Structure 1
Amino acid sequence: MRYVILAMAMLLSAAVPAQARAQTRMSIGVENRGVSLGFVMSTYPTLVRIPGYPVYYDPRVDSNYFFYDGLYWIYLDDNWYSSPWYNGPWDMVSPAYVPLFILRVPVRYYRRPPAYFRGWRADDAPRWGEHWGRDWERQRSGWDRWNRRSVPRAAPLPTYQRNYTGSRYPRQLDQQRSIESRSYRYQPREAVSRQILDHRRQGVEAPDRQQQQNDRRQQNVQQHQQRNAVQQQNVQQQQQRNARPQRNVQQQQWHRALQQQRRPQPAQKARGADNKGGRGRSDKHRGQKDNNGDRGGHP
């Protein structure tokens, strides 16, 4: 199975020079995030401190169930799972990055030990090197050797989770994270524990950031559409204002044409009557002239 690799910084052992530690990076293999296992913790577990170890276990459950450094741990079907809440959801963690003190828990505290534990000393840690091979053993060299006089203090138990059972148990990561931030102030001492928690928190925060970006993008689109609508409205209003003088001129021209059509025209004299009258006057004058001429011709 492939592991989803999360890159993060982690301090090495004290034998590594400080400069090298500052420049060293490691990865935590987390697979199948947020899975549900084949059992249910219906109530808050009864956790008992393992003598000489900063680790708790539950002697009542038929499972390899532990608590260490702010996280619950389960060993099931040859896989390690972790969660900050007692009933998950769980993240599968690569064996190469399981905390050392979890690996050091003696065999007797595994309430459901796998078959290959048989024959191993009950007061010793499981022989992980034999089970996971030489590559793992080289990578986790010295995992079973430590100063038993300088064991770190155990983390406080997250007893606030007693209030969340049955239907009140939060299944969503964002709900769990919200309750944690209000109720549990412990900061893990081990880098691997901090990084596992950060890994989960990133899974919660990423959708929130994406939603915020989508909301801002949608808001920008709406604002752009509103500005375009206002600009289009201004253009239409300007076009209407520009069209008014032209309509006024057309209306004035139409009214003048209508008035001219309605105005009475002056009567015109018949051409024949004028000619006739003119000819009559001419004949009369001509007759008078002739008479005068006749009168002047006699003594």
Structure 2
Amino acid sequence: MLIYYAVIALLGLILAGPANAQVHVDIGFSLPAPPPLVVVPAVPTVRYAPDAPGNFFFYGGQYWVFTPSGWHVSRRHDGPWVFVAPQFVPRPVLTVPVRYYHVPPGHWKQWQRQAPPRWGHEWG
């Protein structure tokens, strides 16, 4: 009987599958139209929006925004935005030099502007 309940519980877990909950968030600014994008010379697969009011990047067909709460991604320039855990942010986006962040955290001011942020002890 115990094996029966174990099999039923296991089947329940398998059939339920992973939850795909995504929380849509406000990134603190909105863009009425797609912004002009410019290639980041140090990371040519990434583009940034020099006229955007925030840290706005484009990579792999998706828009990436870095805010004080972390990284957010969307397929559209105007959202909806989804929070992204740091381990899922593409490496090319993380290697964009500090100088391309329009609104860098205050402690970044002492870092070299031509180098990427120091993500080692803080994920962003």
Same fold by TM-score greater than 0.5: yes
Unaligned segments of structure 2, at least 5 residues: 1-19
Where 1:66 maps in the other structure, the secondary structure is: strand
Deviation at 1:72, TM superposition (A): 0.2
Structure 1 residue aligned with 2:28:
38
**Matched residue count:** 103
Instruction: Report matched runs for 1:144-163 at 5 Å.
Output: none
Which of these residues, 35, 39, 45, is aligned with residue 49 of structure 1?
39
Are 1:89 and 2:80 counterparts? yes
For 1:103 and 1:62, the matched residues in 2 are separated by 19
Instruction: Report matched runs for 1:242-253 at 5 Å.
Output: none
Whether the 8 Å contact between 1:31 and 1:92 is mirrored in structure 2 is no
For 2:89 and 2:111, the matched residues in 1 are separated by 21
More helix per residue: 1
Q: Deviations over 1:138-182 (max 9, x none)?
A: xxxxxxxxxxxxxxxxxxxxxxxxxxxxxxxxxxxxxxxxxxxxx
> What amino acid is the match of 2:66?
Y
Whether the 8 Å contact between 1:31 and 1:93 is mirrored in structure 2 is no
- Say if 1:31 and 1:56 are closer, same or farther in 2 by CA, change over 3 A: farther
* Aligned residues: CA RMSD: 1.6
Whether the 8 Å contact between 1:31 and 1:91 is mirrored in structure 2 is no
Instruction: Report matched runs for 1:55-134 at 5 Å.
Output: 55-132=46-123
For 1:79 and 1:120, the matched residues in 2 are separated by 19
Identity of aligned residues (%): 40
Structure 1 residue aligned with 2:3:
none
> What amino acid is the match of 2:104?
P
Deviation at 1:33, TM superposition (A): 2.5
More strand per residue: 2
> What amino acid is the match of 1:48?
V
Whether the 8 Å contact between 1:66 and 1:72 is mirrored in structure 2 is yes
Runs of 4+ in 1 over 6 A off after TM superposition: none
Deviation at 1:69, TM superposition (A): 0.6
Whether the 8 Å contact between 2:54 and 2:65 is mirrored in structure 1 is yes
TM-score (norm 2): 0.77
Q: Considering only CA atoms, is the larger Rg found in Structure 1 or Structure 2?
A: 1
Where 2:23 maps in the other structure, the secondary structure is: strand
Whether the 8 Å contact between 2:49 and 2:56 is mirrored in structure 1 is yes
Deviation at 1:61, TM superposition (A): 1.6
Structure 2 residue aligned with 1:24:
none
Whether the 8 Å contact between 2:74 and 2:81 is mirrored in structure 1 is yes
Deviation at 1:115, TM superposition (A): 1.0
Where 2:57 maps in the other structure, the secondary structure is: strand
Where 2:87 maps in the other structure, the secondary structure is: helix
Instruction: Report matched runs for 1:1-299 at 5 Å.
Output: 32-53=22-43, 54-132=45-123
Unaligned segments of structure 1, at least 5 residues: 1-29, 133-299
TM-score (norm 1): 0.33
Whether the 8 Å contact between 1:56 and 1:67 is mirrored in structure 2 is yes
Q: Deviations over 1:99-133 (max 9, x none)?
A: 0000000000001111121210011110011324x
Where 2:24 maps in the other structure, the secondary structure is: strand
